[in-house]
Chain A
Amino acid sequence: MNNLKPLAAKWIEQHPFLEEIGATYLCIYDVLQKYKAPIAKDIDWDIFKDDIQNGVPILRSGAAEIVDYDFAADIFYELTRLAFNECLPAEFCDKIIVINSMLDKNKKLAIDILKTVSQSDVTDLESMIKDSEANLGVVSFFAWIAIAFTIEPYLPSLMKWVEENNWQEAYCPTCGSEPVMAELKKTKKGRTRFLSCGACKTKWSYKRIGCPYCGNTDQESLGLIEVEEEGDIRIDLCDKCESYLKTYIGLGMGGIELEDWSSVHIDVICNGTKYKKHGAVLIAK
């Protein structure tokens, strides 16, 4: 994730209409760029085998801990210092500054929040931040960026192991989130579809045809929208649950193409339709 800034800059160059939202993310990537990716410890993923085969994601498993919460807390705090950066919109900065105040000199709270977020325990999280009146969404947003940064070195081996263990759920095998995007990628098995987690950035293979949100495989009720000006991204539609999923079908841009914001123009297109987005909401209906 600490290499996203130049990729984002290139992407924005190709999509100048994304400059406004891109500026915000460039600030965030700038923070991450200051950190060196942690070195992954050797983990025998098989300790998660029973859980993963029973559909329980890694971060929800009690088998072992892979998140370095201490390190993540540092990043989390540093991200909240963006409140003092003039590159972010003032409205956003107002929300961040509340969190920054809450975490200031309270690393334990930062760690607890990160642990709660990683468990997607919304009730606990709400009670933790209640007194500070911090925005739940912004807390969760920054927390996931921090968590994702610390687990990124584990993802290659983890994703390989997950594939070997035939994970076939539509939610993320690492954190349990719904996918926010998808990608068709050439593999030894042809163009395989990978779902992409907007939270922890894990990618996992999923059946090529079928809605990941409701499981619908009736091909008559699954459709696609293609955008002539954005040939590398298509929109997969499910008429059964009326959802849409942005699917990147190009050759790859280093990962920036699966950052949700980088295809917000596709969300804008869908905004006027009956189809809903899952996993994250960029455009409010």
Chain B
Amino acid sequence: MLVQKTLRGAILKVSRRGFIKGTVVAGVGLSLSELGVNVPNVYAATKEFKLSNSREYTSICTFCACGCGMVCNVKDNKLINLEGDPDHVVNEGGLCSKGASMSVLPNSTERIQTPLYRAPGSDTWQEITWQDAIDRVANNIKTVRDENWISSEVMGGKTYQVNRCDSMGIIGSAQVNNEECYLMAKMARLMGVAYLEHQARLCHSSTVPALNASFGRGAMTNSWNDLKNAKVILIEGSNAAENHPMSVKWMMRAKEQGATIIHVDPRFTRTSKISDIHAQIRPGTDIAFLGAIINYTLSNNLCDEDFLRTHTNANYLVNKDFAFTEGLFSGFDETTQKYDRATWGYQLDSKGKPKKTNDMTHPDSVLSRLKEHYKRYDFKLASDITGVPVDEIKKIAEVYVGNRPGTIMYALGMTQHTVGVQNIRSFGVLQLLLGNVGKPGSGINALRGEPNVQGSTDFALLFDYLPGYISCPNNNQPDIDTWAKTSGTFRAKFLVNLLKSWFGNNATAANDYLYSLLPKKNADTNYSIYRIFETATEDKMKFLFIMGQNPMVTSPNLNLVHAGLSKVKTLVVSDLFMTETAAFWEKPGVDPKSINTEVIFLPAASFLEKDGTLINSSRMVQWRYGGIKPVGEAKPDLEIIDLIYTKVRELYKDSTDKKDDIFKKAVWKYPKSDMSEFVLKEINGYNLKTGELLNGIGEIQADGTTSTGNWLYAGVFAKGENKSKRKDNKTDPSGLGLYPNFAWTWPGNMRILYNRASCDATGKPYDDKNKLIWWNEASKKWIGYDTPDVPVMTDGPSTPNGQKAFRMNGEGIGRLIASQYKDPDAIAGKFRDASATPADGPIPEFYEPVESPTDNALHPTVASNPCLKYPRIASMQLIGKREDFPYVLCTSSITEHWCGGGVTRNMPWLNELMKETHIEMPLKLAAKLNVKNGDSVKVTSARGEVLVKAMVTERIQTLQINNEEVTVVWMPYNWGFKGLSTAASTNLLTIDAGDPNTWIQETKACLVNVEKA
């Protein structure tokens, strides 16, 4: 209540509500009649006025995953203006050059407006109707599915039903909305597709298992806005200023408060320009660099000891048989190139729980074993490997370790390596040691590069998951019970709910929720995107549907990709513009007559022409309004998927074949209007007893009485409100930039993951001035400005649940060593959840890239990742030697163009800003080759060659590596032979050797030769 004095001195108590209600303001302006004014001229003038209707609507940008808001103005179904949304909490009215150029997108004459067909051997496209297009797609699916169906497989002498077709592949998209990703995943699995993939495999697939192994979840821990709360920011393997431009806004806020920015990258870029310290590092050596900082922290006792004891496994006892010798961890099998991870666990008590010690210096403690492992990584060794001078590494270590909270930002410079997972695991180790997790201004910020790549990953357009990071069943897991023996009872609940979403009332406990109908992948098979093209070259892949991705530019080793596409029987591409992938048969130098692939092009609506949600890098689910109709006959991908699935189902309607039962059992009935919101509700989930939408994850039941298409999204429609539409950009009681009523974040609207770790063991915030959550003894609850990241809100610090800051790990704590561990479930007698352990080691270890200019200084006999299996096809995956290819090539993207350039190279403004590809090389190399700026040079690798212009620069310097001079060159990868700007594709050069955990390719480090052309 407020005290308000009236004129006469009386005291009134006026509540805000009372004020509003009691305010009856007399019109402050007078009417014309009161003014005694006649305005006949005004009336006369307005009769001649020409009026037109328009409207404004908001959308979210379609490039990097900053998730910037846009305001669009549309008139007569034409976009007439597009600008940054001033009310948006991330971009605050700003847009980068790419985002601002999107006003051109719906008006571009280059957009494909009708379905197209390219007959086998033809050199032209012909326009076809949508009905014809969908009929062709559906008939092809049916034919390939019927002719290549695998109903059962033998594994370990036992026959299992597998319901799969390995001759169909679907490549989804991080470009499309969540609802589209969800339906694509649903359609693919219902049709028996195992080869379901998308961009995330190529960009951040190593992030998920790495962060998962450390913290329990695979997502960016904090948010764009939260960068402002950091005292030190380490950007490694990212050119954030160019590729995530809005992040700079928040970094600069931190800098205004005195924060120091450190940039570690192979080039001096625009990001380096805004940084206080820049270190030029050799691509592929980050583990050695970070290893030196970790060693500095450990050997100087600079760890956050309270944090280590409370929130990590530092004082757990490691299995005595665990060892690391000469580049190999215990359990390595040279024949299979795999580890037996039995020795990577803890010493367990009789209940299967890890043994702990009060003395962290105990020789078996995780902390001691970690110290032992990292003691080899001194500054000198790191300098020899990375090329960063000793003094610089030392300075960075001192600054980063000496200022807390510190946050880390990274992108593909860390992920795209054969040690991608371990690169990011190094961040996990460092941040846990420093107590830099779960607090404002801390964390590990994976800068996701596509607008909805978090969503497309959440919805599992990846062969190894079902929506919600539920492991995709293997052929030797015939029922949920068996599946749960590997994946845990905790996740089995979510699988049941997914099956209820997909099969409705047909899914019952008695029929194991129709789990048996799901496709089961072969446990020993790699179904990644690389294998899609490789199996195509082997004539195994017959039908390929690619939606919103351009692998003929973005995939590595493009000659292999082209060879694969040339062998596919039917290729279906859904996109906005003609892409190099759809038109692969038009590639310069190729005779179309020699290619018998039929191609169907489906024109897709752009993001401005459809509604739905997407989720940005910091897990913020936001609604895009569809303010204009799609151009020509283009259709939203949601509608395209629906048309294809319903047509395929129709083709099977009379089938009595058991393999086709799934079409009769699955629930697939979506309305034509407001379809996105309908699908979002299915994703959110329902209480099937009441028919009401679920309000949160806590309401999900294991007994079939609830459904959810993705348990992480339960609550996005809480209380019937589409929370992705919320726009309150002012309410922020924390003052930390949480904005809890702006859109919605998973899980449960949590803004900062693991925020329990911002409190000590008693539940008291470590930093009372910057607190997120705390234990309230009076109400016996966890409360705060953010959604507390605790298993049960009422389980206080004195309970086991009250000490699980990393509750999604089996142990419930942060994992310095990512040990093998399954949390026993006392009730069911099974294990509840398993912690993730990388295939190539529980602790990061430095290995050289597959193509390296030097020897491994730590263990020359184990130079590169020992678990790496490459080449997979010897004839097409050659490994270059340093004698022939002496320079290290690093590739990445630029501000003006994005990924495969399918959209941006059709934007005239952007082509004016950056018209062609080029190679950036140091002065010293240019002098050696007698090359000047703008000269044409030939770049060759073991896989291909390109002609490009030279950009001679001081932004890259030659490095001293193991006492030898090493030269790094750099190229953008955004070009191809279609679009308004054409140039050679850099990925003709790059290598497709992959990380053994996720197969992500090593596009950041391969060897090339450069010659003056």
Q: Using a CB–CB distance below 8 Å, which chain A residues touch chain B?
A: 16-21, 24, 50-51, 54-57, 60-62, 88-93, 95, 112, 115-116, 119-122, 124-125, 135-138, 140-141, 144, 166, 168, 171, 175-178, 180, 187-193, 198-199, 207-210, 217, 219, 222-230, 234, 260-261, 264-265, 268-269, 279-284
Contact assessment for A193 and B37 in the assembled complex, using a CB-CB cutoff below 8 Å: no
Contact assessment for B45 and A17 in the assembled complex, using a CB-CB cutoff below 8 Å: yes
Q: With A144-B28, A281-B29 given, is the CB distance from A225 to B23 under 8 Å?
A: no
Contact assessment for A282 and B29 in the assembled complex, using a CB-CB cutoff below 8 Å: yes
- CB of B669 within 8 A of chain A? no
Contact assessment for B86 and A190 in the assembled complex, using a CB-CB cutoff below 8 Å: yes
Q: With A56-B4, A284-B31 given, is the CB distance from A269 to B54 under 8 Å?
A: no
Q: How far is the CA of A20 from the CA of B45 in the complex (A)?
A: 13
With a cutoff of 8 Å between Cβ atoms, the chain A residues found around residue B26 in the complex are 120, 122, 125, 136-137, 140
A189 to chain B minimum Cβ distance, whole angstroms, is 4
- CB of B800 within 8 A of chain A? no
With a cutoff of 8 Å between Cβ atoms, the chain A residues found around residue B725 in the complex are 217
A-B contact pairs, 20 of them (CB 8 A): A62-B5, A88-B36, A120-B24, A121-B6, A141-B29, A144-B28, A189-B86, A190-B83, A193-B86, A198-B29, A199-B28, A209-B56, A209-B58, A224-B55, A224-B56, A226-B53, A226-B75, A265-B45, A269-B46, A279-B27
Considering only CB atoms, which chain B residue lies closest to A136 in the complex?
B26
Considering only CB atoms, which chain B residue lies closest to A88 in the complex?
B36
Q: How far is the CA of A269 from the CA of B23 in the complex (A)?
A: 29
- CB of B994 within 8 A of chain A? no
Q: How far is the CA of A195 from the CA of B85 in the complex (A)?
A: 17
Q: How far is the CA of A226 from the CA of B625 in the complex (A)?
A: 21
Q: How far is the CA of A48 from the CA of B727 in the complex (A)?
A: 26
With a cutoff of 8 Å between Cβ atoms, the chain B residues found around residue A284 in the complex are 31-33
Q: How far is the CA of A44 from the CA of B87 in the complex (A)?
A: 28
List 9 extra interface pairs beyond A57-B19, A62-B3, A222-B55, CB under 8 A.
A90-B36, A120-B25, A180-B29, A189-B92, A190-B84, A199-B28, A224-B54, A269-B51, A281-B27
With a cutoff of 8 Å between Cβ atoms, the chain B residues found around residue A192 in the complex are 86, 93
With a cutoff of 8 Å between Cβ atoms, the chain A residues found around residue B36 in the complex are 88-93, 95
Q: With A120-B25, A137-B26, A217-B727 given, is the CB distance from A54 to B35 under 8 Å?
A: no
With a cutoff of 8 Å between Cβ atoms, the chain B residues found around residue A227 in the complex are 49-51
> A-B pairs with the 5 shortest C-beta distances?
A190-B93, A91-B36, A280-B29, A89-B36, A92-B36
With a cutoff of 8 Å between Cβ atoms, the chain B residues found around residue A135 in the complex are 34
Q: How far is the CA of A224 from the CA of B728 in the complex (A)?
A: 23
Q: How far is the CA of A89 from the CA of B30 in the complex (A)?
A: 14
Contact assessment for B87 and A207 in the assembled complex, using a CB-CB cutoff below 8 Å: yes
With a cutoff of 8 Å between Cβ atoms, the chain B residues found around residue A140 in the complex are 26-28
Considering only CB atoms, which chain B residue lies closest to A193 in the complex?
B86
- CB of B828 within 8 A of chain A? no
A9 to chain B minimum Cβ distance, whole angstroms, is 17
Q: How far is the CA of A189 from the CA of B29 in the complex (A)?
A: 31
A142 to chain B minimum Cβ distance, whole angstroms, is 10
Contact flags B1-41 to A (C-beta < 8 A → 1, else 0) = 01111110000001010011001111111111111111111
Q: Count chain A CB atoms within 10 A of each CB in B29, B33, B53, B730 and give the residue with the most.
A: B29
Contact assessment for A228 and B28 in the assembled complex, using a CB-CB cutoff below 8 Å: no
With a cutoff of 8 Å between Cβ atoms, the chain B residues found around residue A208 in the complex are 56, 71, 85-87
Name the one of A56, A180, A268 contacting B46, with C-beta atoms under 8 angstroms: A268
Considering only CB atoms, which chain B residue lies closest to A116 in the complex?
B7
- CB of B42 within 8 A of chain A? yes
B59 to chain A minimum Cβ distance, whole angstroms, is 10
Q: How far is the CA of A121 from the CA of B24 in the complex (A)?
A: 8
Contact assessment for A55 and B19 in the assembled complex, using a CB-CB cutoff below 8 Å: yes
Q: With A51-B2, A56-B2 given, is the CB distance from A24 to B37 under 8 Å?
A: yes
Contact assessment for A177 and B32 in the assembled complex, using a CB-CB cutoff below 8 Å: no
Considering only CB atoms, which chain A residue lies closest to B48 in the complex?
A229
- CB of B785 within 8 A of chain A? no
With a cutoff of 8 Å between Cβ atoms, the chain A residues found around residue B41 in the complex are 16-20
Contact flags B63-75 to A (C-beta < 8 A → 1, else 0) = 0000000010101
Contact assessment for B23 and A176 in the assembled complex, using a CB-CB cutoff below 8 Å: yes
Q: Classify the interface of chain A: helix, strand, loop or mixed.
A: mixed
- CB of B94 within 8 A of chain A? yes
Q: How far is the CA of A201 from the CA of B4 in the complex (A)?
A: 23
Contact assessment for B85 and A190 in the assembled complex, using a CB-CB cutoff below 8 Å: yes
With a cutoff of 8 Å between Cβ atoms, the chain A residues found around residue B625 in the complex are 219
With a cutoff of 8 Å between Cβ atoms, the chain B residues found around residue A60 in the complex are 4, 14, 19
Q: Using a CB–CB distance below 8 Å, which chain B residues touch chain A?
A: 2-7, 14, 16, 19-20, 23-46, 48-58, 71, 73, 75, 83-87, 92-94, 625, 627, 725, 727-732
Q: How far is the CA of A27 from the CA of B878 in the complex (A)?
A: 87
Name the one of B5, B52, B56, B58 contacting A228, with C-beta atoms under 8 angstroms: B52
Name the one of A119, A120, A180 contacting B6, with C-beta atoms under 8 angstroms: A119
With a cutoff of 8 Å between Cβ atoms, the chain B residues found around residue A144 in the complex are 28
With a cutoff of 8 Å between Cβ atoms, the chain A residues found around residue B6 in the complex are 119, 121
Q: How far is the CA of A144 from the CA of B86 in the complex (A)?
A: 31
Name the one of B24, B27, B34, B53 contacting A225, with C-beta atoms under 8 angstroms: B53
Q: How far is the CA of A230 from the CA of B31 in the complex (A)?
A: 22
Considering only CB atoms, which chain B residue lies closest to A143 in the complex?
B28
With a cutoff of 8 Å between Cβ atoms, the chain B residues found around residue A229 in the complex are 48-50
Name the one of A16, A95, A228 contacting B49, with C-beta atoms under 8 angstroms: A228
A82 to chain B minimum Cβ distance, whole angstroms, is 12
Considering only CB atoms, which chain A residue lies closest to B45 in the complex?
A17
A237 to chain B minimum Cβ distance, whole angstroms, is 9
With a cutoff of 8 Å between Cβ atoms, the chain B residues found around residue A234 in the complex are 54
With a cutoff of 8 Å between Cβ atoms, the chain B residues found around residue A62 in the complex are 3-5
Considering only CB atoms, which chain A residue lies closest to B725 in the complex?
A217
Q: How far is the CA of A192 from the CA of B71 in the complex (A)?
A: 11
Q: How far is the CA of A104 from the CA of B287 in the complex (A)?
A: 87
B920 to chain A minimum Cβ distance, whole angstroms, is 33
With a cutoff of 8 Å between Cβ atoms, the chain B residues found around residue A217 in the complex are 725, 727
With a cutoff of 8 Å between Cβ atoms, the chain B residues found around residue A265 in the complex are 42, 45-46, 49
Considering only CB atoms, which chain B residue lies closest to A235 in the complex?
B51
Q: With A187-B86, A208-B71, A264-B39 given, is the CB distance from A92 to B27 under 8 Å?
A: no
Contact assessment for A198 and B28 in the assembled complex, using a CB-CB cutoff below 8 Å: yes
Contact assessment for B42 and A264 in the assembled complex, using a CB-CB cutoff below 8 Å: yes
A79 to chain B minimum Cβ distance, whole angstroms, is 13
A194 to chain B minimum Cβ distance, whole angstroms, is 11
Contact assessment for B57 and A219 in the assembled complex, using a CB-CB cutoff below 8 Å: yes
Contact assessment for A223 and B85 in the assembled complex, using a CB-CB cutoff below 8 Å: no
Contact assessment for B92 and A190 in the assembled complex, using a CB-CB cutoff below 8 Å: yes
A58 to chain B minimum Cβ distance, whole angstroms, is 12
Contact assessment for A18 and B34 in the assembled complex, using a CB-CB cutoff below 8 Å: no
Q: How far is the CA of A88 from the CA of B83 in the complex (A)?
A: 45
A14 to chain B minimum Cβ distance, whole angstroms, is 12
Q: How far is the CA of A192 from the CA of B49 in the complex (A)?
A: 27
Considering only CB atoms, which chain B residue lies closest to A21 in the complex?
B37
Name the one of A20, A56, A90, A178 contacting B39, with C-beta atoms under 8 angstroms: A20
Q: How far is the CA of A230 from the CA of B42 in the complex (A)?
A: 13
Q: With A62-B3, A208-B85 given, is the CB distance from A20 to B54 under 8 Å?
A: no
Contact assessment for B25 and A199 in the assembled complex, using a CB-CB cutoff below 8 Å: yes
Considering only CB atoms, which chain B residue lies closest to A96 in the complex?
B36
Q: How far is the CA of A177 from the CA of B625 in the complex (A)?
A: 32
Contact assessment for A282 and B31 in the assembled complex, using a CB-CB cutoff below 8 Å: yes
Contact assessment for A24 and B35 in the assembled complex, using a CB-CB cutoff below 8 Å: yes
Contact assessment for A138 and B86 in the assembled complex, using a CB-CB cutoff below 8 Å: no
Q: How far is the CA of A219 from the CA of B73 in the complex (A)?
A: 12
Q: With A56-B4, A227-B51 given, is the CB distance from A21 to B56 under 8 Å?
A: no
A49 to chain B minimum Cβ distance, whole angstroms, is 12
With a cutoff of 8 Å between Cβ atoms, the chain B residues found around residue A138 in the complex are 30, 34
B1 to chain A minimum Cβ distance, whole angstroms, is 9
Q: How far is the CA of A209 from the CA of B49 in the complex (A)?
A: 26
With a cutoff of 8 Å between Cβ atoms, the chain A residues found around residue B53 in the complex are 223-226
Q: With A120-B26, A199-B28 given, is the CB distance from A269 to B94 under 8 Å?
A: no
Contact assessment for A226 and B51 in the assembled complex, using a CB-CB cutoff below 8 Å: yes
Q: How far is the CA of A279 from the CA of B31 in the complex (A)?
A: 12
Q: How far is the CA of A208 from the CA of B41 in the complex (A)?
A: 33
Name the one of A54, A177, A193 contacting B16, with C-beta atoms under 8 angstroms: A54
